[in-house]
Amino acid sequence: MAGKRFILGFILGLALVFFSWPGAQTAQASCGSVTCFVVIGSQQQIPQVGLLTVNAIYNYTPMRLLSGTNGVIPGLDQANRQMILDNHQETRTITQQATLDLNYGLTERFGLQVTLPYVWRTHKHIDGLGEDGTNGEGQSTNFSANGIGDMRVGLKYNVLPTLRSMVVMGFGVYLPSGNTHAHDSAGGIMESTTQLGRGQVGLNPTIYQTYELIPHRLNQFASASYRHTFRNNDGYLFGDEYMLNAGLNLVTTPWLVLTGQVNYRYLVHDNFSSSLLQSAPVGTPGGLEPIEIDPTIKNRAVPTTGSTYYAFTPGFQVGLGQLIESSWTNMTSVYFFAQIPFARDSNNSLAQGTSYIFGLSRSFQMLNPS
């Protein structure tokens, strides 16, 4: 019955990625990227002893400017430790991510989770405002990269295993396995926040709760998580991330579960150890160097990072084993979600739009429980 309840976890936003690379480079901008996050199943529940649950997940996350914003943000030159205000104008970011998520039951209460993402990211912006172009209008710059993202390894413990309820506490560590030195179309190394990996270790405690309101028919769930990533060698510190999710699952037939959930994410401002400069206004002759405001290299909040995001996410899960009995469909399900934002604040930068998640879950009995 555990598969029918469909209340098993969520995918964490990995994005806001980080870069670390020494040497000369052009000044880049403080653009960022995120991925969608929802409770999608088979990620936070602890499987029975010796059971391996494999999730193959794909998500598509577009980011565009909100109405009433112009997308003008600071540029970050990490090699020279410079933050250049009004140096860059955002256009769009599209992130696609394929995630392999493995959950294994070590004991009746302890579980091991390993998550490995593969990321495709494209980004477009206008760089060098006040510097490049005849009238300081900047130049269009594209960025595209794909590869392994930051791997997460975690342990989970079922605090309250009863017939109708469950409370799972977890603690994960993000490992800096993602690429941090991809180049943009102008030949410069792209900034930290758009790279595929953060380049630094992150800590990620989680909690998940569920209760069957109507046994085998209707249940509620809630989850919360926190992420802290340490400052990198270039002086960049990603802002802490807080996420809350809550929703209901309805078993309509033995093979179809409908779900609706509300998702919330709060990202604190990033921080960069740098001096502070100001780009010349657009409309002045190109080729002007930024004006130095404060040459002291110190920790400064990046003003156009950080965001607040609320979304409603409807979705469904189809239990293939209940729909078609065969060895191929046994303990297998597929699911789909659409994450639809209803309130966002992105500090004049790009904001996450409607995102989509497709997934397949399959369990394998590796050891016979004693």
How far, CA to CA in Å, does 96 sit from each of 144, 176, 182? 12, 19, 17
As for how many domains the chain has, the answer is 1
Cβ density class 243-273: b for 16+ within 10 Å, e for less:
bebebebbbeeebbbebebebbbbbbbbbbb
- Tell me: the pLDDT tens digits for 55-78? 999 999 999 999 999 999 998 888
Let me know if residue 10 belongs to a domain. yes
Q: Are 335 and 9 in contact (CB under 8 A)?
A: no
Residue 28 has a pLDDT of 40
- How far is Cα 365 from Cα 152, in angstroms, rounded to an integer? 23
Judged on CB neighbours under 10 Å (0-12, 13-18, 19+), 147 is middle
Range of the domain at 164: 2-363
Let me know if residue 368 belongs to a domain. no
- Tell me: the pLDDT tens digits for 268-283? 999 999 999 999 888 7
The arithmetic mean of pLDDT across residues 300-322, rounded, is 94
The arithmetic mean of pLDDT across residues 191-213, rounded, is 91
The CATH number for 28's domain is 2.40.160.40
**Number of other residues whose CB lies within 10 A of the CB of residue 61:** 24
Q: Kindly tell me if the per-residue pLDDT of 16 is higher than 50.
A: no
Let me know if residue 304 belongs to a domain. yes
Instruction: Give the lowest-confidence range in 34-43, 118-127, 137-146, 169-178.
Output: 34-43
Residue 178: helix, strand or coil by DSSP?
Answer: coil
pTM for the predicted model, two decimal places? 0.87
Let me know if residue 345 belongs to a domain. yes
Q: Kindly tell me if the per-residue pLDDT of 29 is higher than 80.
A: no
Let me know if residue 78 belongs to a domain. yes
Residue 284 has a pLDDT of 77
How far, CA to CA in Å, does 224 sit from each of 11, 92, 227? 11, 29, 11
- At residue 14 the predicted structure's pLDDT band, cuts being 50, 70 and 90, is very low
- At residue 8 the predicted structure's pLDDT band, cuts being 50, 70 and 90, is very low
Let me know if residue 369 belongs to a domain. no
Q: Which ranges in the chain belong to alpha helices (H)?
A: 2-5, 320-323
Let me know if residue 370 belongs to a domain. no
- Tell me: the pLDDT tens digits for 98-150? 999 999 999 999 999 999 999 999 999 898 888 887 777 888 888 899 999 99
The arithmetic mean of pLDDT across residues 210-232, rounded, is 95
Let me know if residue 290 belongs to a domain. yes
Q: Are 243 and 228 in contact (CB under 8 A)?
A: no
- At residue 9 the predicted structure's pLDDT band, cuts being 50, 70 and 90, is very low
